[in-house]
Structures are given as structure tokens and as C-alpha cells.
Amino acid sequence: MTRWFRSHWAEEDTWFYFEVDADGWVTRQVELQGPLEKPIAAASLTEWEAAQQAGTLAEHEATFGVTAEVPVHEWDPHDPQDLTAGEFEIVWRTARASCQARARARSTRGA
């Protein structure tokens, strides 16, 4: 069963939003940093695996970041707060759009 939750790391002033599969692996992850909750990552495990196979992993990680590399039962999320699928999707879509816009801006400056 898929589950969604968020956790705040005060040391980094970062909110982490997770979508986790039945085995505890993070399938999607969002990171929002600072008081304005600026999106810094919106990573999908499926997309990361596809980018790795396609040889575009560096570009993909620069745009979207990465998901946690171990199942959640192997680490201790800080005070996890359950979310609904809908709550996660709103944060996901907003963060993805921000990451994509930042990547477009980088490619425009580099052109």
C-alpha cells in the first residue's frame, strides 16, 4: 500500500515530502527549503532509473534531485506527518514545475 507523509528537518530548515511503496522504498520525494519553502527537489525513482539507463542521469539529477536511497524503515524520519494522496500531488506538481522552470532558465543562460 502506498503511503504519503512529510517530515521537517529543522537543522536544514527543509520539509521533505515522501511517497512510499508497500516495501518502504521512496517512489517520489519533494524537498522544500527555507521559510518560503523553495522547491529544491522533486524526484521520481522511476524517472531516475530511466535516466540512468538512457545515460542522462547527471542532467536529470541536476533538474529534479534524487529520492532516498534506502527504505524508510532503515532511517528515522523526523516527526512524520501523514498526508493524503491529494495533498502530496499538490506539492508534487508545484515543485516539479519549479524545478523544470529552473532548468529552462539554466539552459537559456547557457545558450
Q: For the segment 26-53, what is each residue's pLDDT rounded down to a tens digit?
A: 999 999 999 999 999 999 999 999 999 9
What pLDDT is attached to residue 110?
62
What pLDDT is attached to residue 45?
95
Lay out the sheet containing 14-20: strands in order across.
38-44, 26-33, 14-20, 3-9, 81-83
What pLDDT is attached to residue 52?
93
Query: 2, 3, 13, 16: which is closest to 76 by C-alpha?
Result: 16
Please tell me the pTM assigned to this model: 0.90
| Residues 18, 6 contacting (CB under 8 angstroms) | yes
What 3-state class would DSSP assign to 98?
helix
Residue 69 scores a pLDDT above 90: no
Query: 95, 103, 107: which is closest to 62 by C-alpha?
Result: 103
How many residues does this entry show for the chain? Answer: 111
Confidence class for position 13, pLDDT limits 50, 70, 90: very high
Q: What's the rounded mean pLDDT across residues 8-18? A: 94
